[in-house]
């Protein structure tokens, strides 16, 4: 994945999930994308929401997962805290979300996507790496979505 002229890259939850679980078919793509960005000096960013979603998604199916134990998930979480810049989720982000919802209509689970975009806007972050680019199409005029998988 080419990432020219990118200084900061916000990571969606699914990227962290794929990055840490070798059982998933997207794992090699996530490892390549994250490692390439990191080695290129791109600052990797997440929010508390992304980290909570990572914990919730991975611990939900812990009994069926032979690769990720509770301790491994927790260790991954600590690694993320140390290796990624965690952007504060604060009142300013909520105000930005409120302003964003005045211009873009989203509902249900897409409010979480809107909150990620509001976090990015609040901190002046332009680029998002995700495996769900369609979830962010409505925001394409304000952020640049980098899909993990190339579109056919």
Q: CA–CA separation, 136 vs 121, rounded Å?
A: 14
74-85 confidence digits (pLDDT tens): 999 999 999 999
pLDDT for residue 14 is more than 70: yes
Q: How confident is the model at residue 44 (pLDDT cuts 50, 70, 90)?
A: very high
pLDDT for residue 41 is more than 70: yes
Q: Specify the pLDDT at position 28.
A: 96
Cβ contacts of 23 within 8 Å, gap of 6 or more = 65, 66, 67
Is the separation of the CB atoms in 42 and 7 below 8 Å?
yes
Q: CA–CA separation, 152 vs 138, rounded Å?
A: 20
Q: CA–CA separation, 111 vs 105, rounded Å?
A: 9
Mind listing the domains of the chain with CATH numbers? 8-90+127-147 (3.40.50.1010)
Average pLDDT over residues 115-124: 98
Q: Specify the pLDDT at position 68.
A: 85
DSSP label of 151: P
Three-state secondary-structure class, residue 130? strand
């Amino acid at each position: 994945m080419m990432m020219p002229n990118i200084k900061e890259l916000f990571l969606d939850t699914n990227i962290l999930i794929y990055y840490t679980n070798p059982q998933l078919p997207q794992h090699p793509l996530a490892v390549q994308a994250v490692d390439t960005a990191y080695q290129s000096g791109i600052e990797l960013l997440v929010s508390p929401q992304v980290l909570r979603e990572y914990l919730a998604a991975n611990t939900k199916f812990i009994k069926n997962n032979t690769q990720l134990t509770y301790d491994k998930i927790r260790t991954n979480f600590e690694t993320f805290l140390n290796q990624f810049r965690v952007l504060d989720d604060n009142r300013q982000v909520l105000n930005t979300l409120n302003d964003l919802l005045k211009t873009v209509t989203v509902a249900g689970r897409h409010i979480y996507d809107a909150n990620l975009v509001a976090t990015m806007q609040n901190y002046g972050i332009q680029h998002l790496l995700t495996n769900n680019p369609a979830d962010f199409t409505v925001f394409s005029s304000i952020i640049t979505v980098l899909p993990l998988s190339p579109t056919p």
